[in-house]
Structure 1
Amino acid sequence: MVNYPALTSHTSEGLSDPLIYVHDFTNTYKNHLLYPPAVREAACLKVQIPWILQPMQKGDLLAGRKRTPFLGFTPIQGFGNIDRTGYYMEEQSLRDELEPYLQTEEQKVELEELIAYWQTENTNSKIRARYTEVMARELWTDNWGVESGVIYPLYRMAGAHMDMDKLVRLGLPGLRAEIREKLVSSAETYHPLYESMLTALDMLEYSMIYYIEDVKQALEQADQASDKLHLKRMVEVLEAIRYHAPRHLDEAMQLCWLYMLLSGSMEHGRMDVYFGDLLVQDLNTDFISELEAQELVTAYWRMILGVLGRDARVIVGGVGRRNPENGDRFTLFAIEASRHVPFRPQLSLRCNKGMNPEILAKALDSLGEGTTFPILYNDEANVPAVMHAFDVSREEAEQYAFFGCGEYMLDHRSYGTPSGVINLVKALELTLFNGIDPLTGRELGLKLGTLSDFATIDDLWEAYQKQLKHHIDIIADQEALEYKIVGEETSLLFISMLYDDCITRGKAVFEGGIRHLGGTLETYGNITASDSLVAIKKVIYEEQKITKERLMELILTNFTGAEGERKLLLEAPKFGNDDDEADQMAVLYHEFVCNTVRNQRDRTDLDSYLVVMINNDANTTLGRLTLASADGRLAYSPMSNGNAPSPGMDRNGITALFNSMTKLDAGLHAGSSQNIKFSKQMFNGDRPKLEALLDTFFELGGTSTNISVVSKEDLQNAMKEPEKYANLIVRVGGFSAYFVTLNHNVQREILERTLY
């Protein structure tokens, strides 16, 4: 049994609980600075986990809620959904939380000393401290989305897909036994990683004990017979998973939920694989009814929505599953849950030839209701693409998964955190203005001349390639450095325990334990940039309707008083219309950017480094930091989103749009967003026609669809009277959101997308 002293045993008099936590966590960290990272992390988790656990709420069918500390340890997310990795402090949140409790001047001084300590000791600062001179000059380390630049670092180890199937099969005792066996057979008399993993599992059991007592208290206060029945079963489940692997669906769900809660990961992987068998077993033996099974799955969805927040991918369907019939049974419950709990999790359905037609029909029904889920992925295109992009066998590629906004990785085999962002349109802007950001006057990147110096479009293209490679090299180095520092500082114990091949190798995930160490680069404005090159080629160089010098003026003045010249640029060929000239440029551009990023594996320690065109709302955020572009886009307005045309530029119908989209090679990147906005009449009015359309897109090689089913009138009215449209959900890019909660500029960009 885990025996951990309560935090109230702290001896400092007059300190509030938050101050006790801050003192304990900081002192524990300091006292273990000279210990191996795994030991230090385990010690800090023993302080953090009791602090974060929160009582269940009335109606919960699963135990496990948490608060995110303002000072702590995480693989990805700090206080307030801010990206962090390793040890972090959110200074303003810390002040806001603690200052009301400070009783003496001595305590105030102590707080300032503590803040000063963590300002340099947090893992993000340690990463920045190791930047080279070039990285420090080119990378914007603060004010992401506020300060104008080309490349931005993101500090996070996002996208961990742990082997939850292994957790369900082994349970807590089985996982302990595997680690103890390795510890005993280790050549070393003391193995800090294995010892620390066992400590982490002790804390997992501690959480079970915590909630057993919490549920028992709720049981004492319950007055409804149905509530008492649920609470009694919850106690039985929590007791059961302490001593053996899950034997029923609710036990598996409870174990997985607590593990996810403590791990810091938000990605749930192929849930139909690790829950499907127990679901079918329980249904076939009448242990639960269909209604009870649906209540359980829906309850899991509610916990994800209420506790984990953003991202939170759940993957169902596709090839490479154990017992696909059982998985399909779970998938039907999952789609139904998303109809009742929209917005989160990001339910993602992998489709393949010969799949159960009932599943696709139910998925389309759900999408037609405006839920935006499930997102549809095409295994026929994605599995070969993943094989090529990641250089892995078909067997491994069949275990591709996606996270966050749609980045691909290999389930519990690889990492692919997107820890960098590049504004491709800003990079073109620099190329036109001799390496100077005309918005700020700051020198960024390479000084290669201005547009006036480039005699041909080929000269411009060559200079732009050099500018892009310069910035891509730097952001790839940042990714590799981030993995290195995180590996030196942390062991990410909960994640390492469920990642191939960490236990076998006796190394943490970023210490050499992971099978495939990869990274991804978020690219923004891909199509805006390629359309701009087409416009320059046609209007400036070939037709000579606008001079090079005049184009630079138009960009600087945002086409003020030059609607005629802007019209020429807008009428140049645009991607999304099955236009050979525009699409050929998009393909050329796509291949250069993707291959330049992919080739970073030859100059870094990364097994893979791949583009992701998964756009969240950063095409709008970065657009506000970018001047007018040569495709006719106005300054500070949104850039193209993901693999989609610039808003409103696809004018030849949806078949032409699909033809353009599928010309870009999916085997060169790690995910892209195809955002499509359907009218309710189009989507729901003629289902056979819609199904034929989606089938054609997938046959052409389309990898995925992010579908919003809305009306133009609803979007317009929601902007005028948001209180009446609180439940209107749209696909932004790689994620869904309630439309009325979005920034006005993002709302406008979604409204301006073509409605089919």
Structure 2
Amino acid sequence: MGTKNTEKQQNTKTRGQILWERLRPLRDTEPVSFERAWLVTQSYKETEGMPVFLRRAAAYENVMKNIPIYLDEGQLLAGDFASRPMCAEIFPEMTVAWIKEYMENGDYDNQPDEGWYTFEHNRKEQINEICDYWTKNAARESFYRYLGEEEVQRLYEENEAGAWIYAASTEAQTEKGWNIPDYSRVLKKGLKGLLEEVENTLAETPIVSDESLKERTFLEALKSMLKSAVHYAHRYADLCRELAKEAKGERKQELLQMAEICDWVPENPARTFQEAVQSMWFCHIMIYWDSRTIGLGFGRVDQYLYPYYKKDIEEGRIDREYATQILECLRVKLSSKRNVFNVTIRAALSNDSHFHNCTIGGQTTDGQDAVNELSFLWLDAAERVRTPHPTISVRWHEKINQKFALRCLEIVKLGMGFPAFFNDTPTIEYLLERGVTLKEARDYAIGGCVLHNVVGKTPTTWPDVMNFAKLFELALNDGMDPRTGKQFGLHTGKFTDFETYEDVVEAYKKQILFFMEKTTEYLNKVSIYRGEMFPETFVSLFFDDCIKKKKSINQGGAKYLINCYYVIPVGVVDVANSLIVLKNKVFGGDKSIGKQELMDALAANFEGYDDLWMKVDECPDFGNDVPEVDEIAAELYEWMCDEIPKFKGGYGVQYEVAPHSIAFHANMGLKVGALPSGRKAALSLADGAVSPNQGSDVNGPSAVVNSAGRIDHTRIFGTLFNMKFMPAALATTEDRKKLLALIKTYFGTYGGKHIQFNVVDRDVLIDAKAHPENHRDLIVRIAGYSALWCELNESIQDELIARTENTL
């Protein structure tokens, strides 16, 4: 098996480049597909009254057997995210409210309005039928009925559509994930081995109670889904053989080989590198067709795939070039996935962000450097096929291969925003403190943006996204939102009545805890409800101990019930920058700003208060190596790490602190008024955990690192640190060695947990905003993921432009 391919010449386009160039234009034109939505809807109508697990299995079978399949010319991997190239599939189980609204109020025959999707014109009646069924049955719609009209109205006022104090609509209608299936178990035993495990557990599970009935239907669903998944792979084998009849030469042989591979994996254990990648890919796709999920990581791809690569190389089955082509094909596959959400969700998730994270580097389970030849090939494929997905995360430790580290920075200088770098030391310490074994902790990988998880052993996650800058604004206004005039928070006192700086901090913390009570109660409700109504079934096969516990991954089935509920505090740096002003200019220092004067200036968005704004501007900002303001941010995070874990999520799991803002920082900022820091109303908040507010860091990258290093990252789950550099700053090897030294300082001296880089010229971004048609392939880093610039909303584009450009 396998094909040795050495025909590629230095100046010719690679297989992946040809594939991507052919498919990329379809992203702008391909209508949304309702193929899956129709199949799932028809199945659900036929299974009314049956247990939910069996309904999910029946719907899955209908999709696996009947969803249209295709194979892109030149592609070496089979399986796709949609029934047509570059289109998005609707998952009506989550919500259809926005689709129904668009159908009723939009000009369906003259689509699209800017920011909306194109629907298939010839399926209007079928789309209406889908919407009619799911209007009462979708996750969001049914959950809102469960909450009741009064509670839903309060949510609208406090959340995305209103004050945006915290995210609720997003959580009610999007699937979850952010963790890492263990695909290696299928590579080793095949789906056939998992089926045997399920059947053995079924034999030991008689129905003797309501709980055992539920357990048995879960296992029966897994059994059915495994058979459906094998059938799906065999459909591709048949397709490859059919296409081979018309193909010629090398392509004919590739298709026949692919047919053999799809007949073998993932049903059976992988034997070759191509089989291993195909099996891994099939598993990822098969999870998607059941529950879509967001942010499922691939784990340590250079580790569990390496034995297959090494064996094939040694036996002469493939060469390095052909292996790289396979990884190129994977990059194209992953960048072909499309999202289809309403306006609110697209703003929060930057449209087509997917968080497909591939982890490379790091340590072996006995503490040695784990870099191998395949680690380099992942970087080579990323250089050749410059797509936003998958992102690459590099695990850093003191013994890391220096040649590999510099190669990583060569990819960074290309400007795609990856690889990102994660420090093993504080991450492993964090996991050990939560009961994970040393062997498992050393084998961690990145799920979603920046979440360090134990592969195949931690649950589906639920983020509590809170606008900490908005909460600070409420604290200054006795719990009232000055933008809407509504009383949302506690009555903690008017700012003009506070006598000390400490009074402000105390009021702020009370507002946080008050909304923590609200948000955790809400998130617990929606997560438990989702598990009961729409359990994540097929993905549970890839996590310990779901089969053993007879529970799905989102119903407490995972081995370690940790890291699955967490708070994303957006705008902490903005609050620190505001508190230093109050400390130095209002309550202490020169006391040059009066309390009422400041409140008036904030209400006026500093218009007409130039002198006051200049006084504010004199105060230091986080990111400039000024201990006084840095320590305020550090104290806030320390307090959060003490208080937030006191709140409990589903199944008794403690909440964690995970400040990785995704795209919320820009869009939450739209609902926050002027702040004492001098930030004007509606501007973006600082991104991530320790990134400076846009343009406020003026003392160079070392100062930024010194400020970020004053935060204790060990206790934080999923910290994020963004920096932006001019392309010229990384032009030479010596330049990249300087950046290498900066990373070593941040990780080695300060114990930082994560750092990543945008390498792009501000003028290019400005031109790309004005002339997107000239920059269709421009990739930028947002938070823990990269995206195509032209697919971002304006608020995120402006935020990226405003970030400080550093030099070394």
Match of 2:444 among 396, 400, 413: 400
* Inter-CA distance 411–449: structure 2 relative to 1 (3 Å threshold): same
For residue 238 of structure 1, what is the aligned residue in structure 2?
Answer: 262
| TM-score where L is the length of structure 2 | 0.83
Give the 3-state SS of the residue equivalent to 1:664 in structure 2.
coil
1:614 aligns with 2:660: yes
Give the AA of the match of 1:48. Answer: V
1:533 is matched with which residue: 572, 575, 579?
Answer: 579
Pick the aligned partner of 1:204 from 229, 232, 237.
229
Deviation digits for residues 215-234 of structure 1, max 9, x if unmatched?
Answer: 122212223x1211211110
Q: Which residue of 2 aligns with 1:649?
A: 696
User: C-alpha deviations, 1:724-751, integer Å up to 9, x for none?
Assistant: 4443332222221233443343333222
- Tell me: CA distance 1:431–1:331, structure 2 relative to 1, closer, same or farther (3 Å): same
Deviations 1:591-615 (A, max 9, x none): 22333322213x7634232122212
Q: In the alignment, which of 185, 192, 197 is matched to residue 166 of structure 1?
A: 185
Deviates more, 1:529-538 or 1:724-733: 724-733
Q: Which residue of 2 aligns with 1:379?
A: 424
Residue 275 of structure 1: aligned partner: 305
Indicate if the aligned counterparts of 1:179 and 1:194 stay in contact, CA closer than 8 A.
yes
Quickly say closer, same or farther: Cα 1:52–1:606, change in 2 above 3 A: farther
Post-superposition shift, 1:679? Answer: 2.2
Alignment partner of 1:451 is 2:487: no
| Contact 2:724 2:758 (C-alpha < 8 Å) held by counterparts | yes
CA distance in 2, matches of 1:140, 1:81: 27
Deviation at 1:322, TM superposition (A): 8.7
Report the alpha carbon displacement of residue 345 of structure 1 after superposing the two structures with TM: 0.4
Q: How far apart, CA to CA, are the structure 2 residues paired with 1:324 and 1:292?
A: 29
| 3-state SS in 1 of match to 2:480 | coil
Query: Given the alignment of the two structures, is residue 415 of structure 1 paired with residue 430 of structure 2, yes or no?
Result: no
C-alpha distance in 2 between matches for 1:88 and 1:286:
51
Is 1:752 the counterpart of 2:771 in the alignment?
A: no
Give the % identical residues: 24
SS of residue matched to 2:76: coil
Give, in whole Å, the separation in 2 of the partners of 1:440 and 1:30.
Answer: 44
Q: 1:283 to 1:559 in 2, by over 3 A?
A: same
Name the CA shift for 1:90/1:232 in 2 (closer, same or farther; >3 Å): farther
3-state DSSP of counterpart to 1:616: coil
| Partner residue in 2 for 1:286 | 316
Tell whether 2:639 aligns with 1:624: no
Name the structure 2 match of 1:121.
Answer: 137
Matches of 1:242 and 1:739, distance apart in 2: 36
Cα separation, 1, equivalents of 2:784 and 2:238: 40
Deviates more, 1:179-188 or 1:631-640: 179-188
Query: For the structure 1 residues 116 and 548, does the alpha-carbon distance in structure 2 shift closer, same or farther, using more than 3 Å as the test?
Result: farther
Is the counterpart of residue 186 in structure 1 residue 205 in structure 2?
A: yes
Amino acid at match of 1:546: I
1:425 to 469, 474, 480: 469
> Which residue of structure 1 lines up, in the alignment, with residue 549 of structure 2?
505
Native 8 Å contact 1:539 1:545 kept in 2: yes
Over 3 Å counting, the alpha-carbon distance change for 1:133 and 1:432 in structure 2 is farther
| Partner in structure 2 of residue 347 of structure 1 | 392
Q: Distance in 2 between matches of 1:81 and 1:481?
A: 27
1:214 to 239, 263, 287: 239
- Whichever residue aligns with residue 183 of structure 2, its letter is M
Q: Residue by residue, what CA displacement relative to the aligned partner does 1:461-512 show, whole Å, maximum 9, x if unpaired?
A: 1111110111122222222222311221233221111111011122222333
2:423 is aligned with what amino acid? N
Aligned residue identity for 1:473: E
Corresponding residue for 1:306? Answer: 336
Alignment deviations for residues 14-59 of structure 1 (CA, whole Å, 9 cap, x no partner): xxx9999766633532443433321111011122334444311112
Matching of residue 695 in structure 1 with residue 710 in structure 2: no
- Higher alpha-carbon deviation: 723-732 or 619-628: 723-732
AA matched with 2:585: V
Q: Counterpart of 1:296? A: 326
Residues 605 and 680 of structure 2 are in contact (CA less than 8 Å); yes or no, is this contact kept in structure 1? yes
Tell me: CA distance 1:428–1:504, structure 2 relative to 1, closer, same or farther (3 Å).
Answer: same
* Equivalence map 1:598-609=2 (5 Å): 598-601=645-648, 605-609=651-655
Q: TM-score normalised to the size of structure 1? A: 0.89
Q: 1:421 to 1:259 in 2, by over 3 A?
A: same
1:677–1:755 contact (8 Å) kept in structure 2: yes
Contact conserved, 2:460 with 2:554, CA < 8 A, in 1? no
Deviation string for 1:207-250 (max 9, x for gaps)? 11211222122212223x12112111101101122652111111
Verify the 8 A CA contact 2:371 2:400 in the aligned structure 1: no
2:98 and 2:797 map into 1 onto residues whose CA distance is 31
Quote the residue 2:21 is aligned against. Answer: none
For 2:410, the equivalent position in structure 1 comes to 365
Q: Does 1:139 align with 2:128?
A: no
Q: Partner letter of residue 578 of structure 1? A: D
Which residue of structure 1 lines up, in the alignment, with residue 344 of structure 2?
none
2:582–2:676 CA contact under 8 A, matched in 1? yes
Does residue 576 of the first structure (1) align with residue 648 of the second (2)? no
Question: Pairwise mapping of residues 5-154 of structure 1 onto structure 2 (< 5 A)?
Answer: 25-67=40-82, 87-89=94-96, 92=99, 95=103, 97=119, 100-101=122-123, 111=128, 115-131=131-147, 136=152, 139-140=155-156, 144=160, 146-153=161-168, 154=171
TM-superposed CA distance for 1:674, in Å, is 0.9
SS in 1 for 2:466: strand
Instruction: Note closer, same or farther for the CA distance 1:142–1:631 as it changes in structure 2 (3 Å cut).
Output: closer
Is this contact kept in 2: 1:138–1:151, CA < 8 A?
no
Aligned to 1:251: 275
Q: Residue in 1 aligned with 2:113? A: none
CA distance in 2, matches of 1:318, 1:20: 41
Q: Does the aligned pair in 2 maintain the 1:53–1:207 contact within 8 Å?
A: no
Gaps of 5+ in 2: 1-31, 109-118, 339-351
Equivalent position amino acid for 1:357 in 2: Q
Compared CA separation, residues 749 and 235, structure 1 to 2 (3 A): same
Per-residue CA deviations over 1:250-307 (Å, capped at 9, x if unaligned) read 1122222122112124421221222111111111111111111111111111111113
Any conservation in 2 of the 1:385–1:666 contact (CA below 8 Å)? no
Give the drift of 1:578: 1.7
1:68 and 1:675, CA in 2 relative to 1: closer, same or farther beyond 3 A?
Answer: farther
Question: What is residue 707 of structure 1 aligned with on the other side?
Answer: 757
Residue 492 of structure 1 aligns to a residue whose secondary structure is: coil
Change in 2 beyond 3 A, CA 1:353/1:577: same
Q: Counterpart in 2 of 1:74?
A: none
Residue 98 of structure 1, CA deviation? 7.3
Partner of 2:509: 465
1:731 pairs, out of 756, 765, 781, with 781
Other structure's SS at 1:152 match: coil
Contact 2:41 2:133 in 1 (8 A): no
Sort the Cα spacing of 1:485 and 1:141 in 2 relative to 1 into closer, same or farther, 3 A: farther
Q: Which moved more, 1:505-514 or 1:127-136?
A: 127-136
Letter in 2 for 1:183: L
Tell me if the contact between 1:139 and 1:151 (Cα under 8 Å) persists in the aligned partners: no
> How far apart, in 2, do the equivalents of 1:565 and 1:525 lie?
23
Q: What is the CA distance between 1:87 and its match in structure 2?
A: 4.8
Structure 1 contact 423–523 (Cα < 8 Å) conserved: yes
Render the CA deviation track for 1:85-124: whole Å, top value 9, x for unaligned: 9554365279565774467xxx89xx46x63442231122
Shift of the alpha carbon at 1:375?
Answer: 1.0
| Secondary structure at the counterpart of residue 120 of structure 1 | coil
- Assess if the C-alpha contact under 8 Å between 1:141 and 1:152 holds in 2: no
